[in-house]
Amino acid sequence: MGTMADQISVMDPTLAREGRVRVVIEDVTPAVDGGRFPIKRTVGEKVVVEADIFADGHDLLSASLLFRREDDPRWTEIPLEPLVNDRWRGSFPVTQLGRYHYTLLAWADEFKTWCAGLAKKVEAGQDVTLDLLAGAALVEAAASRAAAADAAALRNWAIDLQSSGKPTLARVELALSEQLRVLMGRYPDRQLANTYPAELVVVVEPELARFSSWYEMFPRSCSPVAGQHGTFKDCAARLPYVAELGFDVLYLPPIHPIGLTKRKGRNNAITAEPGDFGVPWAIGAAQGGHKSVNPDLGSLAEFQQLVTRAKYYGIAIALDIAFQCSPDHPYVAEHPDWFRKRADGSIQYAENPPKQYEDIYPFDFETADWRALWDELKSIFIFWCEQGVRVFRVDNPHTKSFAFWEWAITEVKKAYPDALFLAEAFTRPKVMYRLAKLGFTQSYTYFAWRNTKWDITQYFVELTRTGVREYFRPNLWPNTPDILTEYLQTGGRPAFMARLALAATLGASYGIYGPAFELGEALPREPGSEEYLDSEKYQLRHWDLDRPDSLKDFIARVNRLRRDNPALHSDWSLRFHPVDNEQMICYSKQTEDRSNIILVVVNLDPYHTHSGWIDLPLPELGFEESQSYQVHDLLTDARYSWNGPRNYVRLDPQSVPVHIFRVNRRVRTERDFDYYL
Amino acid sequence: MGTMADQISVMDPTLAREGRVRVVIEDVTPAVDGGRFPIKRTVGEKVVVEADIFADGHDLLSASLLFRREDDPRWTEIPLEPLVNDRWRGSFPVTQLGRYHYTLLAWADEFKTWCAGLAKKVEAGQDVTLDLLAGAALVEAAASRAAAADAAALRNWAIDLQSSGKPTLARVELALSEQLRVLMGRYPDRQLANTYPAELVVVVEPELARFSSWYEMFPRSCSPVAGQHGTFKDCAARLPYVAELGFDVLYLPPIHPIGLTKRKGRNNAITAEPGDFGVPWAIGAAQGGHKSVNPDLGSLAEFQQLVTRAKYYGIAIALDIAFQCSPDHPYVAEHPDWFRKRADGSIQYAENPPKQYEDIYPFDFETADWRALWDELKSIFIFWCEQGVRVFRVDNPHTKSFAFWEWAITEVKKAYPDALFLAEAFTRPKVMYRLAKLGFTQSYTYFAWRNTKWDITQYFVELTRTGVREYFRPNLWPNTPDILTEYLQTGGRPAFMARLALAATLGASYGIYGPAFELGEALPREPGSEEYLDSEKYQLRHWDLDRPDSLKDFIARVNRLRRDNPALHSDWSLRFHPVDNEQMICYSKQTEDRSNIILVVVNLDPYHTHSGWIDLPLPELGFEESQSYQVHDLLTDARYSWNGPRNYVRLDPQSVPVHIFRVNRRVRTERDFDYYL
């Protein structure tokens, strides 16, 4: 690795069009849509870059990977190594937040080619007198490119190579010496090098972008007193509970003043009753809009105190950013041209015919005043960053323009490179992927509706084994305030446990909407609906967190084992393994060095006990086929000694429908006992 | 389909960066490396274009495919149809030689969205008074974009839609009428349309580019008199024979003066004996270089006569273009700077250490005088085009610079869009693919070494079912003057028949090096070599074309059935089918309308009879599972009545190791006899 003294001239893009450049660089990975969008990494990860690199003819090539921080014009250079079939590879570490650029440089390496030819000719007993002279010329030319001390050394080499006083074989040995190879490698002739025409970009985010455990909670329901509106102070009092459960992101639905006009009542009633608190997503009232807090929750200062207090517990507060307005939002009067008009001049409320949402005005992203609208919306993120918030869950980003998101996220990250954005887009796959490409840090997924082995396997292979993983980071939610799946409605406690375990182990990032989740809330508003009955979206709820049937201890245990096992901190190592029972799924994750291996088996049927034989690819896990090993169930603390790839598992949903094993390389023997020593 | 009156302003590339453009167009196919290289078609084919097209929100979209000939700025527009999952498709025909451009245009279609919303609201019994006014405004806006007559009509529609005198339901009916839909479709509001940022290119070539049968022949060996040097006149006399065999391209190794210096002797002897004629690829002597003909073959006028005579037989003469020089080539004296120098100032001959080719000087594509070199090499193609040649087999293109080929082929095709280039590159896969991307019409392949079912299947799936087929057209050669495979050396007559049939049916384009092929020439220069003993590359040969064991009748029959069956004129329909015998391979090709279906079964083992059950995907061939059908062996004229997908085949290599069936939809019944009528 070194800095590139002479690269600037080589990087001249007109050079690549010169007819003399013979090296090709193509099919560079990773790259999203040919470099149109950045790839994503977190601090401390590395970027492994590969490319097809070749030239006409038989010349040997050399190639480098170049990288730099976006704000630093100086490239760092790392040599690429050839693999097979003209594929080359190199990697660089990303150690700081923000954006890095990377690209490739390759050239026909005349000295390398000359050395290889010389060796073959000598081996074949051919006369190499002229070859040695040619080599001396190459070394002399390198001297003219070299720093002073090296230049002198190279000139001496050149003299030796052509010295007729020395025996030919001695000169050949000099020519092929490691010392000359290293020296020449420092001063390659790169006049005709080819630089990959694009600078590719990697956005580097905090580790929380890759590994995070989310807990969604309505502040309105946090009061210890039933029927009383919760406050930021009540939220702060709830922090120890959230921390005990092991979550590191506490996500609050919108905390802004709620509109009065067309306010919805309990269970989404068209009209609110007196005393109804409305829907937090109907943002804006006389007290303010997206930069204000709902007075029922407290003051902005109290919110800041909550953020600070949460940090003490290692918890990041995530805000819900919903870019839409209640009819009472100050924007409506101040910027009527940010909204569409109906034929009678009134403002167009949200609709998806025949559904109408009269309490919500969407922004018109086709407005002629779009620049002012974009600036204002961006300033909302900046405002909350200034209050100490860095994590944003963005509501329905797929109903706002793509161009806006790309610009806004990039701009916010310029000021706050640690800001994270979770896209709450439940929509068509290509739209969800597009949002991730535009810059969203994490994305909601279809996980909630993937309940069969086939569905789960297909989906997670797509998310973790294809190019999708370069830009789309899944965040898995078994439930949300909008999604109470049929599986949870009907599956009871085993369903909640299975889905929690799946989310927490399939996904390095996952979340639950609580306390509804840990308390097993499963009643829909009406049959066939995925809406909760008496949803907190429309009313206060009072939750008994200490109910004996709460899953809080199970969840705490899962979150603790997630934290303790680095294999679960990333999704890329996920591999599914065969089980001869369609109701059971088996998969593993491991660290790159295989020092930590987690094996998960889940009974997907919440009603019946199932058993089956799993089949593990032992070599992929770093074991020999005949080796015995121990699997340690981190949920029950049971340990099993296994031997060979096929092993029997049995899971009773009425107890724990899941094994989360740590696979231990060594089985304890008598030598492991203390008294043996 | 119509011309685009208002597209020019929409195509303004700066518009796409405007913040108000909401539609995305991505993943457009076909496109080679994101549009960096053109796709290929032949005259009369069509280009089926697909893309992912979507926007934020719920608006309905419209999209168009735009295409134009490169030299015509006017676009033709064809509507795209939505498939599933945000994928859209359209197609356009390519009817003329040369280059076409194509791109896509998409927009949020406000009127379409409005119509769909109106219909749903009416169905839900909602008040649509304001909606009708909004629709009238859309129609009025369209009127302002419309041609005079349509403008008046649209204004009347607008008046009717908002006329309070008419019942609402009547106005809704007007709004949703087909007549208004068509009229509005003519004048969409495309101010915020998005144009795909690239213009993709398709190169359209003659049908011969897709479907061709090549015969390679050394003119030096065409004399009817043994030991006498053949001439162009002798070649002309051989034309009826070539035509009878059914070939439509007659390819001649280089016809230029051959160098004397370092001339190679028979069987590649280092020094030639007096009377040796040298290697045709050692081009250039006192009599001239690449634009001259070897006086032993005759005059340029006689060559032109050969070209003309060949046309009479429906045969195109293909020349071998080998960009390299003998030491005696005029270029060497005239342009010494087009070659590399050795340390003693002499010109560097070709070498691939330890191999040395002292009779060959390669060009130095890194020469500072590269522009002059490129111009001169291009002028060689132009010169031979002027002599009536349109087909070029390019020798070792992978040892000349990629940039040169892209430029040269494009330039030659500007003057001669019917010129065809076959790349003779037997090298690493990515280099071969690159050459095809750069513009070579057809490419030699690894076919000669693909002899097992697995190898053949893998390779041809890659060539015909992946993106490779958009730019790489395989031309299959069972033998060449450089390649006498072990399979042919040892397999005898059955091997020659099997390989001929495979080449001719797997490949719409194929070729043989004759008469060595039809006469079963199988002796290598030495054991383990793929070189022919007494190769025509170094000496004259006299061939007895009428030998009773010649395969000429078999070859003629295969070429005739190729011509008669359009299923064999393209490679894209190739599908492999299971046979329960590893020594047998089965595949089919069919026309798009399924009117012509060819089914091939080959016994790959030249030594033993094999039999097996083949399993046909009848629905893919357009048959019902229970339907009976007839297969007609076009080699033996035998007919079999088959029923269902599984059928028995048995092939004896000592008779004919191949079935080439035409699959006939109907089986003859008594009703097919004349007397029944």
How far apart are alpha carbons B521 and B394 in whole angstroms? Answer: 25
Helix (H, G, I), strand (E, B) or coil at B343: coil
Taking the Cβ of residue A85 and every Cβ of chain B, the question of whether any pair is shorter than 8 Å is answered with yes
Q: Are A401 and B22 an interchain contact pair (Cβ–Cβ within 8 Å)?
A: yes
Check: CB of residue A518 under 8 Å from CB of residue A544. no
Taking the Cβ of residue B545 and every Cβ of chain A, the question of whether any pair is shorter than 8 Å is answered with no
Taking the Cβ of residue A344 and every Cβ of chain B, the question of whether any pair is shorter than 8 Å is answered with yes
Distance in angstroms between the alpha carbons of the first and the last residue of chain B: 46
Residue B4 has pLDDT above 60, yes or no: no
Partner residue opposite B85 with nearest CB, options A22, A370, A428: A428
Q: Are A85 and B428 an interchain contact pair (Cβ–Cβ within 8 Å)?
A: yes
Does residue A474 have a cis bond before it (omega within 30 degrees)? no
- What count of residues does chain B have? 677
Q: Which residues of chain A fall short of a pLDDT of 70?
A: 1-17, 666-677
Check: CB of residue B659 under 8 Å from CB of residue B642. no
Residues of B in Cβ contact (< 8 Å) with A370 = 19-20
Residues of B in Cβ contact (< 8 Å) with A192 = 366
What is the per-residue burial (b if ≥16 Cβ within 10 Å, else e) of B564-603? ebbbbbbbebbbbbebebebbbbbbbbbeeeebbbbbbbb
Element (H, E) at B312: helix B300-312
Give bridge partners of residue B61 from the DSSP assignment: B108
How far apart are alpha carbons B405 and B440 in whole angstroms? Answer: 8
Partner residue opposite A402 with nearest CB, options B22, B118, B401: B22
Taking the Cβ of residue B127 and every Cβ of chain A, the question of whether any pair is shorter than 8 Å is answered with no
Q: Are B54 and A430 an interchain contact pair (Cβ–Cβ within 8 Å)?
A: yes
Angstrom distances, CA of residue B658 to CA of B312, B453, B594, B608: 33, 14, 23, 13
The closest of B262, B400, B220, B403 to B321, measured between CA atoms, is B400
Angstrom distances, CA of residue B496 to CA of A80, A92, B271, B502, B604: 45, 54, 34, 10, 11
SS3 content of chain A, % helix, strand, coil (to 5): 35, 25, 40
Q: Are A401 and B56 an interchain contact pair (Cβ–Cβ within 8 Å)?
A: yes
How far apart are alpha carbons A371 and A229 in whole angstroms? Answer: 38
Residues of B in Cβ contact (< 8 Å) with A137 = 343
Element (H, E) at A438: helix A429-438
Q: Are A431 and B354 an interchain contact pair (Cβ–Cβ within 8 Å)?
A: no
pLDDT given at position A623: 86
How far apart are alpha carbons A323 and A644 in whole angstroms? Answer: 55
Partner residue opposite B402 with nearest CB, options A24, A116, A192: A24
Residue showing tokens 């022949």: B217
User: Strands B2-3, B76-79: parallel, antiparallel or unpaired by DSSP?
Assistant: antiparallel
Q: Which amino acid does the sequence have at A42?
A: T
Partner residue opposite A19 with nearest CB, options B24, B85, B404: B404
The closest of B432, B365, B35 to A18, measured between CA atoms, is B365
pLDDT class for B546, splitting at 50, 70, 90? very high
Check: CB of residue A44 under 8 Å from CB of residue A93. yes
Residues of A in Cβ contact (< 8 Å) with B117 = 351, 353
- For the question of residue B395 being annotated catalytic, the response is yes
Return residues 429-488 of B near A (CB < 8 Å).
Answer: 429-431, 434
B433: CB partners within 8 A, 6+ apart:
B468, B471, B472
Torsion of CA A290, A295, A296, A299, to 10 degrees: 100
Element (H, E) at A133: helix A129-145
Q: Which amino acid does the sequence have at B219?
A: P
Give bridge partners of residue B585 from the DSSP assignment: B602
Taking the Cβ of residue B126 and every Cβ of chain A, the question of whether any pair is shorter than 8 Å is answered with yes
How far apart are alpha carbons B629 and A100 in whole angstroms? Answer: 64
The closest of B311, B260, B251 to B282, measured between CA atoms, is B260
Element (H, E) at A121: helix A110-123
* Dihedral sign computed on CA atoms, order A109, A110, A111, A112: positive
The closest of B204, B202, B208 to B390, measured between CA atoms, is B208
Q: Are B352 and A58 an interchain contact pair (Cβ–Cβ within 8 Å)?
A: yes
> How many CB atoms within 10 Å of residue A81?
12
A639: tokens are: 């340990």
Element (H, E) at B101: strand B98-108
pLDDT given at position A676: 53
Instruction: Work out the minimum CA distance from A418 to partner chain B, whole angstroms.
Output: 26
Check: CB of residue A52 under 8 Å from CB of residue A26. yes
Check: CB of residue B670 under 8 Å from CB of residue B676. yes
Q: Could you give the angle at which helices B486-506 and B552-564 cross, rounded to 10 degrees? A: 20
Helix (H, G, I), strand (E, B) or coil at A388: coil
Angstrom distances, CA of residue B339 to CA of A21, B330, B332, B408, B526: 17, 13, 8, 19, 34
Give bridge partners of residue B356 from the DSSP assignment: B351
Does residue A13 have a cis bond before it (omega within 30 degrees)? no
Residue showing tokens 């090549």: B214
Taking the Cβ of residue B295 and every Cβ of chain A, the question of whether any pair is shorter than 8 Å is answered with no
Instruction: Work out the minimum CA distance from B642 to partner chain A, whole angstroms.
Output: 38
SS (H, E, C) B399-451: HCCHHHHHHHHHHHHHHCCCCEEEEECCCCHHHHHHHHHHCCCEECCCHHHCC
Q: Which of A77, A234, A359, A395 is catalytic?
A: A395
A344: CB partners within 8 A, 6+ apart:
B130, B133
Residues of B in Cβ contact (< 8 Å) with A34 = 34
Return residues 159-178 of A near B (CB < 8 Å).
Answer: none
DSSP B196-239: -S--EEEEEE-GGGTSEEEEE--GGG--SSTTSPP-HHHHHHHH
> How high is the mean pLDDT of chain B?
94
A275: CB partners within 8 A, 6+ apart:
none
pLDDT given at position B240: 98
A273: CB partners within 8 A, 6+ apart:
A265, A266
Q: Are A431 and B343 an interchain contact pair (Cβ–Cβ within 8 Å)?
A: no
pLDDT class for B12, splitting at 50, 70, 90? very low
pTM of the model: 0.93
| Cα radius of gyration rounded to whole Å, chain A | 31
Torsion of CA A531, A536, A537, A539, to 10 degrees: 120
Partner residue opposite A343 with nearest CB, options B24, B26, B133: B133
What letter does residue A431 receive in the DSSP assignment?
Answer: H
- The per-residue pLDDT for range B612-668, each reduced to its tens digit, is 999 999 999 888 877 789 999 999 999 999 989 999 999 999 999 999 999 997 655
Check: CB of residue B235 under 8 Å from CB of residue B252. yes
The closest of B479, B292, B280, B291 to B395, measured between CA atoms, is B280
SS (H, E, C) B619-675: HHHCCCCCCEEEEEECCCCCEEEEECCEEEEEECCCCCCEEEEEEECCCCCHHHCHH
pLDDT class for B675, splitting at 50, 70, 90? low
Interface test with A, best of B17, B18, B20 (most A CBs within 10 A): B20
B634: tokens are: 């076009």
Residues of B in Cβ contact (< 8 Å) with A50 = none
Check: CB of residue A281 under 8 Å from CB of residue A253. yes
How far apart are alpha carbons B484 and B530 in whole angstroms? Answer: 5
How far apart are alpha carbons B349 and B340 in whole angstroms? Answer: 8
Check: CB of residue A332 under 8 Å from CB of residue A325. yes
Check: CB of residue B80 under 8 Å from CB of residue B7. no
Does residue B276 or residue A15 have the better pLDDT? B276
| Cα radius of gyration rounded to whole Å, chain B | 31
Give bridge partners of residue B270 from the DSSP assignment: none
Instruction: Work out the minimum CA distance from A453 to partner chain B, whole angstroms.
Output: 23
Angstrom distances, CA of residue A226 to CA of A237, A540, B508, B532: 15, 9, 80, 96
- For the question of residue B424 being annotated catalytic, the response is yes
Check: CB of residue A210 under 8 Å from CB of residue A47. no
Instruction: Work out the minimum CA distance from A414 to partner chain B, whole angstroms.
Output: 20
B556: tokens are: 């003629």
Taking the Cβ of residue A20 and every Cβ of chain B, the question of whether any pair is shorter than 8 Å is answered with yes
